[in-house]
Structure 1
Amino acid sequence: MADNDQVSQVDSMKMASFIDANESAKPRGQTYVLSVHSAAVLRNLNEFRLQDGHLCDVTLVAEGKEFAVHRAVMAAASEYFRAMFTGDMKEATESKVELRGMPAVGLEHIIDFAYTSKICLCMDKIRDVLMAATYIQLTPIIDFCSEFLISEINIDNCVDIGHIAHDYHLAKVDRTADDFILKNFSVLAKKEEDFVRLTLEKLVFLLARDELLASSELEIFKAAATWLSHDPDRIEHASKVMEKIRFALIPPDAVIESVQTVDFMRQSVGCTNLLIEASNYHLMQLAQPVLQCDRTRVRSLGPSLVASGGLTKQSKVEVCADALFFDKTCSKWVNMKPLEKTTYTHCVATLGNFLFVVGGQNTLDRVGKSAVASAYRYDPRFNRWLQLASLREARTYFALCAVRGRLYAIGGENRNGEIASVECYLPNKDEWTYVTQLPMALFGHAGSVLDQSIYISGGFASGTFSNVLYRYDPALDQWDSRAPMPTTRGFHCMARVKNRIYVIGGNHFDADEERVDVLTVECYTPETDQWSQVAPLREGQGESGISVLDDKIYLIGGYSLDQNSRIKSVQCYDPEKDLWGNVPDYPEAIAGVACCTLDLPSDLKKTYM
């Protein structure tokens, strides 16, 4: 052999040297490994198989079709065949083994995989392959089939893939098919020949999901009605299907014109009761926030940050009526239906996924002379505002908290100065009533709710900043004092995450009696009535908006004394990591903005994007 040939042969091998440490005097030995050997052996065995079954020792039969194979290869590739050929089963010695219930196409793919480690999948044969792989419990092929099905999902085959996933218990494929249908429900509903092939269980499951995307609830109803009408035997399930339709989200006139005219909606007692329920909901407009149930909940991909009102523009002071939501999918702020009137230093709260905007002031005024008593409610279901009964007292720089189905407007300031009064709003009566007032008059304080109690911190009183912490029990209509904050502050924010309350931002007087930003952030634990410090703000923010989304705190806009200007920064705090980060800025510098989280209908958000 030529030297070059020797080098070439050695280069094609992996070589490992070894020396026995305990017998160093012995001559060195070397181990050589031919990396392609195992593949070559399999390739040769496959060629033997394909050449008239050369050296094959058993024939597998499926649906009358015969496949000559090597027992050793099949046993090495599958536990099923190992048990068959190495145990006491009669097939261990038979020359021909019939696999009843095994599809021939599927078996052929299994055998090819055993010899080549490759498998070619297509939609036409996927059921046969899955049946065969399930039959012999060959998990790798089942996993390949799952990957293939997920990669192939489209509007033409999503129903079929869903059926396959259900039949073969492919949980990941089933979830993916469901998600695809939920996102493309409107398109699928128009493909009637495919849509009506959904099973009853799958249709009911889809209709119950908040994530179902459609142009309107009426469209969803019409699709469900089409499914029921496709087969007369399905009408008996009308009530089961229709109880997943949210008739309260359909305008009353559309219910009369397009829903009540459908035969089964009039003939089924269950369906009739659903329409009565929706009618009562629409009739009791003011009480709607406390009448919420699964059938009044908006279809949404999840809560959004919503910011409203505020004082904008650096060159010309302007109170705005803007309302914006933050879209997480594209990380940007998007304008939505504006407030009924311009306002800032107002307060917002949510009840039953309705947004309440209360009080504030509509002109720049530092002493509360322009405080207003107005109250409005926004319904994201129909994208409309409703004016409510006004507060008994105008108030700005106050706190508004929602607890036990009621709103509480606490303290604040008006033309008479700082106030201690507290008003409670009852939605079903649309009226404000006085309850026990604060222990002291305050404005510029902040409020939050934890365990059905209201907590009020800090604020400005008698010409100085406060560090008080008060707790209000609505059930007892009683205030008590808790451990004061380590730091005095006012015009700050409070937010609850899990079982802790965070006090953030604002300002106070320093040792030289200069008004400065407060960067320290303090955390209160009610169980121990103790305060602790967490990561500080990176820049000062007073008169900011605040809200919690996905257990993270968002601080929006505000006024920075250090910069002597309104700012558009949005800082995000992660309590789990004790870290502050930034998200996209608000569109413009703003102070006195009020924020909350709200489930906005997916179809409504699309109209503003």
Structure 2
Amino acid sequence: MASKQVSFTASRSAGSYTSLRQKLRAMRCQSAVSSARKPKKGEEPTIAFVLDDHLQELQAGAQSFWKEDFFRDACVIVEDKSFLAHRLVLAAYSTYFRNIFTMDHEPNDDGMFEISLSGVQAKVADNVIQSMYTSKLNLSSTNVFDVLELADGLKYTVAVQACTKYLKENLNKENCLRTMSLAISYHLDDLKEDSGKFAAARFEEVKHTAGFMALEWFTLRDFIARDDLRATRELQVFQAVVAWLQKDKTKRQKWAVRLMENVRFPLMTPNEVVDSVESVGFLMSVPEFQDLVKEATHYHLTPLRQSILQSPRTNPRSSVRLPAVLGIGGTGNNGGSIMCFTPASGKWRTFTKMDTVPRHHHAVAVLGGFVYIVGGEEMGRSKSVLRTACRYDPRTGEWLTVASMNRCRLSFQIGVLDDFLYAVGGRVSNEESLCNVERYNPQVDRWEDVASISTPRRLVAVATHNHRLYAMGGSSHNRISNKLERYNPANNHWEQKRPLLTCRFSASLHPVGGRLYLVGGMTVVNGHSMAGMKVVDSYNPNLDQWTRLAPMSVPRGEAGCATLDGKIYVVGGYDWSANKYLDQVECYDVQTDEWSAVASYPNRGAGIACCSTILLRLPEGSDESDGTSIASTAATVPSTTGTAPSTADTVNPVGRSVEDSHMSPSKARESLRSAAVSRSRRELEAEARGKLKRLSSKHKMEEEAGNCTEEGEVMSASLPGQGESYSAFVQPSTTCGTCVNSRAAVLKTRREFATMAAQPSPGVVWSGAAVVASTGAAVPSPVQMVTPVQYPFYMWIQYLRSLWRQYSTWCICPVRCVCAHISDVFLCVRALHILSRRRLRGLGRLGRALSSLRRDRGLCYGNMNGC
């Protein structure tokens, strides 16, 4: 056995001790140096050496004794075979053997301790016992489960870890479910999670395996209850459970209700519930199962009540679960957008466009996972004060209009209390503030008045805590309030509490950890000057007591504010002292009482309404640390308005058909037409744009490889019964992919503008360069027509900006193209007027005239090859 040799003379002097440590360092005996202690008075210095290769020598000696049959005193009997070993080695590695040997276990006449193991294969036992001496455990796909079972029974921790690692690295669709079952039985949480994720991501494959049919009922229950179960439709989960029940119906039918409680019937379409669920007779005879079907039916029949009908069964399945802050509207350029911030990425991105008029100084609230956007002031020249309200589902991207408030109002906030939305105070104009409070009842889709606050006030901070609604501060008639009022819904009464430490308005109020945090706001200084506030105060409702906390770095009012994971995010706002809008975003940690800066908001602005939610899908270009993307969403969720995707063409949430990855344009056209049955306009347009983009990329790659043989095609999709049709042109192989993509953007703009220019369904198709009408389409009368001139100024600005971005990126004559494009839009709108009066007469002549006009100009958007 090798060890470092140290030669020295011991001395009782402190100087000699110091010299000793220096010598040890010089010889790199760090373990000896660290163990060398300073001697006490009258004591010789001592040093404890760590012997090199000590454990290796011990293992080599034990292995030698085992092979040469020296000192063996234990015998493990398996299947009439005896394996001789040493008690000391067995007890060192196995807790089971250690307990056996330390109990009153007597040896036989030969002094040998015998232990019998039942239900174990001899070759498996031999493999495990050898590993205790050699540190080598032989694992394969055929023996790993048996080895894991024996190692777990012997409490042989090192072997269990080796089996776990092997299984993690060799998961496949055939063994993942068995691995998950064993992990549950042996309480191997890491292996359970990894194998469960693997199986959930491949549900459509593993549901057909023997391992799925062999699952215990409780394992199957936990498996189908997973949020990340990736099924294209929830109907597939139901059908898989039915197949498992029918495998042995006599024994398994008693578990039917317990299993079906984890199938998310509200995520099915109404047609699927009626045609595929109610047709299973042996289930429909069970009253508990009938209740589940009734729940799904009510969910679809009452879309406005869905926010108060939420349960685990209404939660869409997705592998993405990201807490996020949403910034909605505001006075900046993003007034018509919803921005999102996730701590995982640390960035702000555009999540979606608002399907309502752009607005600012409105109010938002989250109820049942749905975001309600209420009131505010319309952006643009009109600056109308709104009373309209809408509901947005960030999980599915669907919008729904709900009942409007009884009064127009802006500069107010909303609190959520017992499934009601309470709109408190606000203003109608600069001169008129409101004391009125009204609440929205999703059960009946109606706003109703409740008790008013004590005085008319705008920009009141509102929050709920412990079934009470709190309203703090505000301003009216050049007076700033320090009032704190608390509303009790049981008696419809407001009561006064301890006033604020400082009069303020336009602050934000949020409950965190049993306290209410009042952040920022504005006040008046020197009797007349407006000033933003940095201060943050905390209110304890139980003690009716205020506490001053760490201030923000920037004074601000009219800011957006939201709470996420125990932290308060303050977004944008207005700084009166600097007379400017802000884009800074600050985060307050209530645990440490500290503020930190996070990524700035994309645009400066005030009147931004913020809320927090859990995202099940991500914006384009996301790079979250967990590697998830928008495509991670697992199931297509049926529309809340009752329109359902066709069962003939299953589409995932990104709008991509399951079988179209290598589809030609002609096949794509047929697929789009078949998929259009009962599909909404939004779904259809998203799918058409997605298909065109993928096909364009495919053509570009094939062209570069010299394999592009496709002819120019017009992909189109119709909405039967609605008289609408959309199309996008795919250029022949002589056109580069960049031009194809650019043309797709132009066609998209034209299609959207044509849709705006004629409401309702005009039946207009942009096919190549001509405007045609769908066969049988009901062309609207001139009274229904809306010309572009009638649209607000801000919409024209956005439209011109989009055109310039499209043309300036690839065109050598962007100014001419934009001008010609706008002139053609006016010409096409005029054409719709003509068609509506002439009842489609002269349609061919008009189309030919427009085509000739574009060819004569030779412009890029009319002839891509001319660029």
The alignment's TM-score, normalised by the length of structure 1, stands at: 0.86
CA contact (8 A) 1:56 1:69 kept: yes
The equivalent of 1:517 in structure 2 is 532
Distance 1:219 1:310, change over 3 A: farther
1:447 shift after superposition:
0.5
Distance 1:422 1:56, change over 3 A: closer
Residue 311 in 1 paired to residue 331 in 2? yes
Residue 142 in 1 paired to residue 160 in 2? yes
Aligned with residue 600 of structure 2, among 578, 582, 585: 585
Aligned with residue 259 of structure 1, among 272, 277, 290: 277
1:475 shift after superposition:
1.6
Distance 1:518 1:23, change over 3 A: closer
Query: Counterpart of 1:395 in 2: which secondary structure?
Result: coil
Q: Which has the higher contact order (CA 8 A, sep 6+)?
A: 1
Residue 111 in 1 paired to residue 126 in 2? no
Distance 1:601 1:265, change over 3 A: farther
Distance 1:605 1:122, change over 3 A: closer
1:302 shift after superposition:
5.9
1:413 shift after superposition:
0.7
Aligned with residue 534 of structure 1, among 549, 565, 575: 549
CA contact (8 A) 1:556 1:568 kept: yes
Residue 167 in 1 paired to residue 185 in 2? yes
The equivalent of 2:441 in structure 1 is 426
Aligned with residue 178 of structure 1, among 184, 192, 196: 196
- 1:570-609 matches, within 5 Å, as 570-601=585-616, 606=633, 607=653
Residue 568 in 1 paired to residue 583 in 2? yes
Write the distance in 1 (CA, Å) between the matches of 2:220 and 2:531. Answer: 59
Residue 350 in 1 paired to residue 366 in 2? yes
Distance 1:407 1:56, change over 3 A: closer
- 1:172-251 matches, within 5 Å, as 172-182=190-200, 184-186=201-203, 188-189=205-206, 192-233=209-250, 234-235=252-253, 237-251=255-269
The equivalent of 2:354 in structure 1 is 338
Aligned with residue 391 of structure 1, among 398, 401, 405: 405
Write the distance in 1 (CA, Å) between the matches of 2:439 and 2:36. Answer: 85
The superposition leaves residues 489-539 of structure 1 with CA deviations (integer Å, 9 ceiling, x where unpaired) of 222211111211111122222237332220111111111111111121122
Distance 1:546 1:6, change over 3 A: closer
CA contact (8 A) 1:549 1:597 kept: yes
Amino acid in structure 1 at the alignment position of 2:361: T
1:126 shift after superposition:
3.0
1:148 shift after superposition:
4.7
Identity %: 31
In terms of mean alpha carbon deviation, does 78-87 or 66-75 score higher? 78-87
The equivalent of 2:143 in structure 1 is 125
The equivalent of 1:417 in structure 2 is 432
Write the distance in 2 (CA, Å) between the matches of 1:557 and 1:575. Answer: 20
The equivalent of 2:510 in structure 1 is 495
In terms of mean alpha carbon deviation, does 229-238 or 574-583 score higher? 229-238
Write the distance in 2 (CA, Å) between the matches of 1:148 and 1:50. Answer: 28
Distance 1:105 1:537, change over 3 A: farther
Residue 67 in 1 paired to residue 83 in 2? yes
Query: What stretches of structure 2 of length at least 5 have no aligned partner?
Result: 8-23, 618-629, 634-652, 656-867
User: Between Structure 1 and Structure 2, which shows a larger proportion of helix residues?
Assistant: 2
1:371 shift after superposition:
1.3
Residue 374 in 1 paired to residue 388 in 2? yes
1:578 shift after superposition:
1.1
Write the distance in 1 (CA, Å) between the matches of 2:438 and 2:28. Answer: 86
The superposition leaves residues 289-308 of structure 1 with CA deviations (integer Å, 9 ceiling, x where unpaired) of 33333333444636533332
Distance 1:431 1:80, change over 3 A: closer
1:206 shift after superposition:
2.6
Aligned with residue 90 of structure 1, among 95, 106, 119: 106
The equivalent of 1:316 in structure 2 is none
Write the distance in 2 (CA, Å) between the matches of 1:87 and 1:433. Answer: 76
Distance 1:48 1:192, change over 3 A: closer
Amino acid in structure 1 at the alignment position of 2:263: I
Query: What stretches of structure 1 of length at least 5 have no aligned partner?
Result: 314-318
CA contact (8 A) 2:424 2:460 kept: no
In terms of mean alpha carbon deviation, does 110-119 or 503-512 score higher? 110-119
Amino acid in structure 2 at the alignment position of 1:358: V
Amino acid in structure 2 at the alignment position of 1:371: V
1:329 shift after superposition:
4.2
Distance 1:84 1:263, change over 3 A: closer
Distance 1:386 1:109, change over 3 A: same
Residue 407 in 1 paired to residue 441 in 2? no
Residue 36 in 1 paired to residue 53 in 2? yes
Write the distance in 2 (CA, Å) between the matches of 1:172 and 1:428. Answer: 43
The equivalent of 2:840 in structure 1 is none
In terms of mean alpha carbon deviation, does 381-390 or 157-166 score higher? 381-390
Distance 1:60 1:275, change over 3 A: closer
Write the distance in 2 (CA, Å) between the matches of 1:74 and 1:518. Answer: 71
Write the distance in 1 (CA, Å) between the matches of 2:515 and 2:46. Answer: 68
Amino acid in structure 1 at the alignment position of 2:296: A
The equivalent of 2:494 in structure 1 is 479
Write the distance in 2 (CA, Å) between the matches of 1:329 and 1:188. Answer: 31
- 1:46-65 matches, within 5 Å, as 46-51=63-68, 53-65=69-81
The superposition leaves residues 325-350 of structure 1 with CA deviations (integer Å, 9 ceiling, x where unpaired) of 33444444341352322111110112
The superposition leaves residues 430-465 of structure 1 with CA deviations (integer Å, 9 ceiling, x where unpaired) of 222222211111112211111111111122212133
The superposition leaves residues 95-136 of structure 1 with CA deviations (integer Å, 9 ceiling, x where unpaired) of 473523244344334433433455455544333333333443
Write the distance in 2 (CA, Å) between the matches of 1:382 and 1:34. Answer: 64
Amino acid in structure 2 at the alignment position of 1:370: S
Distance 1:350 1:83, change over 3 A: closer
CA contact (8 A) 2:94 2:157 kept: no
The equivalent of 1:543 in structure 2 is 558
Amino acid in structure 1 at the alignment position of 2:328: S
CA contact (8 A) 1:371 1:413 kept: no
CA contact (8 A) 2:364 2:611 kept: yes
In terms of mean alpha carbon deviation, does 386-395 or 210-219 score higher? 210-219
* RMSD of equivalent CA atoms: 3.6
Distance 1:263 1:433, change over 3 A: same
Query: Counterpart of 2:76 in 1: which secondary structure?
Result: strand
Aligned length: 593
Residue 454 in 1 paired to residue 442 in 2? no
Write the distance in 1 (CA, Å) between the matches of 2:216 and 2:343. Answer: 33
Write the distance in 2 (CA, Å) between the matches of 1:340 and 1:492. Answer: 26
1:179 shift after superposition:
4.2
Distance 1:564 1:267, change over 3 A: same
CA contact (8 A) 1:557 1:569 kept: yes
Write the distance in 1 (CA, Å) between the matches of 2:174 and 2:579. Answer: 59
Query: Counterpart of 1:42 in 2: which secondary structure?
Result: helix
Query: Counterpart of 1:90 in 2: which secondary structure?
Result: coil
CA contact (8 A) 1:406 1:427 kept: yes
Amino acid in structure 2 at the alignment position of 1:62: V
The superposition leaves residues 50-86 of structure 1 with CA deviations (integer Å, 9 ceiling, x where unpaired) of 24x2454454332344433334443454454456557
Query: Counterpart of 2:499 in 1: which secondary structure?
Result: coil
The superposition leaves residues 234-279 of structure 1 with CA deviations (integer Å, 9 ceiling, x where unpaired) of 4554333222122222232343344344555545544333222211
Residue 271 in 1 paired to residue 286 in 2? no
In terms of mean alpha carbon deviation, does 400-409 or 278-287 score higher? 278-287
The equivalent of 1:363 in structure 2 is 379
